[in-house]
Structures are given as C-alpha cells and as structure tokens.
A and B are shown apart, each in its own frame.
Chain A
Amino acid sequence: MTAISVVGLTKRYGDLTAVDAVDLSVEEGEFVGVLGPNGAGKTTLLEMVEGLRKPDAGEVTVLGERAWPRNPRLQPRIGVQLQASAFFERLTVREQIETFAALYRVPGSASAAWLEQVGLADKARTRVEDLSGGQAQRLSIACALVHDPEVVFLDEPTAALDPQARRNLWDLLRGINGDGRTVVLTTHHMDEAETLCDRVAIIDRGRLLQYDAPGALVAEHAATGNLEDVFLALTGREYRA
C-alpha cells in the first residue's frame, strides 16, 4: 500500500520555483528521509504534503485522501512535529500534551503514556519554557504522536541535541516506525539518515535528485565513501542560504 503519493508537485514564489515537478511515493510502514541543503525546498514540499500549503500544480494523496484543502478526515491520521517551540506559552509539560490530546479528542490517559515513552514523566509539572532543547524536542514529538497517527512527519527532530539525546531519540523513532507507522523526517545529519531510513530523497533547487536506499546511493555515487559524500557530490560544496 502507498502511504504518500506525490505527482508533479510544484510551488512557485514569484520567480522562484521552490518545488519543481516532484514525483515521490512512500510505502506504508516505510521510514523516509528528506535531505537537501538549506533553501532546497524540503520544508515547502513537506508543507504541501501535510496540507498546509496549496500546490501550484500537481497532486498529493496521503492514505488515499487528498491533502489540500485542509482535510478533516486525513488530519487525525497524520502527526506533524514542526519545531520544538510550537507550544502553548506557560503551560506545563502535562498541560501541553493534554491540550493537544483534547484537540484530537483522545483521552488524557494517552498523554501520560506518551510522556512515559519519551522519558518526560518526571518533568510533567515543568513549564515548557524551562525544558532543555532535547526535552522540548521530545515533548514536541510526543505531542505529534498523542493521537496515534499512521503517518508521522518530523522536521529536523535531532537538531541541537547532544549525542546522548540524539541516540535516545533514534531508538524512539525506530520504535515508532517499528509499530508500523510511516515516518518521514528531514535532517542535515547524513549518518542519521543512513542509520534510520529505508530510503532517502535528496532534493536541491526544488528538484528531486535521487530517491533510493542509502546503501544503493552510496554504491552508485561514492563507492568508497558514505551518504555525506553522495550528498556533496550531488548538491555541490558552495555555501547555501
């Protein structure tokens, strides 16, 4: 079964074509990484898949439902972590996740279970402003998962984490995927993509350059190297936005 189907997806901002005729499909239960330099169009692509932006051309289907315009049948089935700051101000960790649970009309018991799972049970009474970067990151992931979605989108979930937090989060993400959920994440860490992802999509200047298993990409483009060498070979070495 196909979880996500993207056909000819295009988005323009004035003269800039942020996403240029992208075709992409993600199977159910698959773990897919979206890689690309800053400004490559990753965020715009994901926002269209999540139903936050209207495509100028092309089609997006998620779990057999159209993504745009906002689709209330699809929304409860997808979970999106935007960035670690997307919280209600001055609420505690528990209040935060319970509010999100209520927005999806799931019982409060799910909140406690997810706090336990992301290791924040002992921080339940802490205000979100007082969390460390890693704790906030984990809370935002728990908030994205509290309604038990089938497809999960994660936007650079390991940005600004120390190695310990990063490894713990990997285990968490593997677990989420192992439960049968489809996971799509963006990242700048090639080792992370290589370790976690079944397939990676490398995007630059709005175009999909490669979409294959990390091992296959390495074999084809940088036989003696790793995924980072593939990435640099495909996207060049000059500074980006």
Chain B
Amino acid sequence: MRRLLRTPFGALSVAILRGFVRDRSALFFSIVFPLMFLVLFGVLLANQDESEIHLITVGDVPLLDDLPDDAAQSFAATFDVEAYDDRDAALEEVEKGDADVVLEQRGDTLVAHYTQTDQVKAAITRGTLTALVDGANVAASGEPPRFALDAQRVEDDSLTTIQFVTPGLLGWAIAMSASFGAAATLQGWRQTKLLRRLQLAPVSTGTIVGARVAVTLAIALGQTAIFLGLGAAAFGLTLTGWWWMSIPLVLVGTLCFMAVGLLAGAVTKTAEGAVNMANFFVLPMAFLSGSFFSLDGSPAWLRRIGDVLPLRHLNQGMLDVLVRGQGPGAALAPLLVLAGFAVVVTAIAAKLFRWDTA
C-alpha cells in the first residue's frame, strides 16, 4: 500500500483526496447538503403513508373489548383510540376537527359519529366498522363463515416516501459532487498553473485524469454508503434483492457527470464560473429527472424532456434496483445510456479543452 502511494498515480490520488476532505464547502455540498434533504423528506413526510384515524370511544363498547386478537391488532393499526366519559365533549372534538370519529354502543347497535372532511378517512372508518360488525354477526350466528376474502398485496410502482426519495436524492448528490469536483479541479488547476506544472513532470495525461477519476469514484461510493446506511438505519429504508446493482450505476453515473463538469470547466474561464455552470446543468436536471418528487403526475412533454437527461436514467435505474425489487436487467439500459452520455460529453469537452487560460 505504501509503495502504491509513492507511485505518481497513488501520490496524485492522495493529494486530490486530501484536497477534497480538507475542503469544507466541497464536503458540505457533496455529502451534508444532500443528506439534509434526505433527513428533511424523511422526517417531514414520514407520517404521510400511515394516516391513523383518531377514534374516541364513549362509555363501554363491548364489541371492541371482545375482538379476537388478530382483529384487535388490525383495529389498533387503523385507529388511534382514546376513551372519553363525556359524550358531548367527545362530539365537540369531532366538530372541531381534532378527532375523526366518536364511537358508542347502544345495546346491540354500534353508533359512529364521523366527519366527512377527509373522504379517505371517512371511507376507511365506515368500511372498518362495518367489517367489525359483520364479523361479530357471523361469530354470533355460531356458523362458520361461508365466504372468505384472501387479500394479496401486489408489488406496485407506488412507494413509500423514503423508498422513493432516497434513490433520487442520491442520484442528485452524485451528479452534483462529480460535476462540481471535475469543473472546479480543472479550472483551479488551470488558474494556478498546476496543470502546466504537471504537464512538465514525466507523468502521462492518463495518469492525471485517472487519479482524478479514481478519487471521484471513491467519493461517490462513500456517498452511496452514507445515504443507504442512514436511510436504512434512521428512516426505515428497505433495500430490495439486487440493490448492489446500484454500484455500477453509481460508478457509470459518476463518470457521466464528471464529463458534464469537464465540459463546464472547458467552456468557462474561472473556477467560480465553472461551478456555476455545472450547477446550471445539474439543478434543473434534478427537478426534471424526478430527484425531488415523482414526475408521474406531470405533463407528458415534461417527461419527454426528462427522457433525454442522463440523471433521469440514473434515477430510474437506481429506483428499480434499490427499492422496486427489479433484477439486474433493469440497470442495463440506464447503464448504457449513461455510458453513452459520458463518451459523447467527454469527447465534446476534450475538443474544447485548453491546457491554460491563454
């Protein structure tokens, strides 16, 4: 290992990596900033999926007390139950909108007072309570039930919030740090004449570019590990079987966005200009590629635009393998598209590249 670090490639890689980890703003924008979005989405939208219904019982409700175990469990999952003695106070809670339904039992009749403000909750309330009464009727008849419902969940495209936002935000984070890193390095090195100085050393251009690429790839893998680790540990992100196919996606995506950064560095004259230019490419692309929210509800022409953006393909591939449980084949098309973008954009950047500002 020590010997590797003393080769031109190793020494350059270490120098670049040190420059990165000691650059607080680069660290912030490539790691902390996207994580802030992850935490924000994770915390703010965490309860969106499980909308519990606030139910108040007044007096004794024997029907609820006598529920069999499994029914009691699903009842508890649907309702947030609170017991009141005062019927008027309970009804007032519903009128004010603080509770969704008041439940009382008069002899054999279950009486529910519910609000229609939230139609979905109202429907769930009626449906669940009806099923409860029906179940009790069947049980009271002493006959075994004749019909049964076997409900099976279908894997669909709709995902819980954290499942959806993690791959997209990760794609954006990688696009940002790869393109900013490449743009700023190229411009910074050109301005300080370090690029010229390196040209004078017996080191091939391939070694210089290779070291920069190796460091950026390592940073991207680090970002991926932090994102997926934090998502899983803190926000209940569940990865599906072929999740590790995200690694080649991350690597090729990084190459693609380094090329975007190189292009930004090649067409601008200052480091600030290069980073701004990279931002100008990446930020709108992140919106149009569904990094922050799903584009399913957006107009078709907008989605067409997204289809020609590399980040869209990275995000789709990441969603498919990370959380939608799709096989490695799902990553193949995005990989090819990203590689194609990388080659074309690098060729354009190389054409426009100048060793110095003169």
Contact = CB atoms under 8 A, between A and B. Distances in A.
Interface of A: 50-52, 70, 72, 75-76, 78, 80, 82-83, 85-91, 95, 98-100, 102-105, 108
Given A83-B193, A108-B6, A90 B22 contact: yes
Interface centre among A52, A90, A95, A98, by most B CB within 10 Å?
A90
Interface stretch (B10-18, B50-58, B138-146, B248-256): B10-18
Interface of B: 5-8, 10-12, 14-16, 18-19, 22-23, 188, 191-194, 196-203, 355
Contacts of B188: 89
Given A51-B200, A52-B200, A80-B200, A99 B194 contact: no
26 contacts: A70-B199, A72-B202, A75-B202, A78-B200, A82-B200, A85-B193, A86-B192, A86-B194, A86-B196, A88-B16, A88-B18, A88-B194, A89-B23, A89-B192, A91-B15, A91-B18, A95-B15, A95-B18, A102-B11, A103-B8, A103-B12, A103-B203, A104-B201, A104-B202, A105-B7, A105-B8
A141 to B, nearest CB: 13
A86 B14 CA distance: 17
A74 B148 CA distance: 87
Contacts of B192: 83, 85-87, 89
Dominant SS among interface residues on chain A: loop
A105 B201 CA distance: 10
B200 A88 contact: no
A88 B19 contact: yes
B193 A88 contact: no
Contacts of B22: 90
Contacts of A70: 199
B15 A99 contact: yes
Given A80-B200, A86-B192, A88-B194, 17 more contacts: A51-B200, A52-B196, A72-B202, A75-B202, A78-B200, A82-B197, A83-B193, A85-B192, A86-B193, A86-B197, A90-B22, A99-B15, A102-B12, A103-B202, A105-B7, A105-B8, A108-B6
Given A91-B18, A108-B6, A99 B12 contact: yes
Interface centre among B11, B16, B19, B196, by most A CB within 10 Å?
B11
Contacts of A87: 192, 194
A32 B193 CA distance: 24
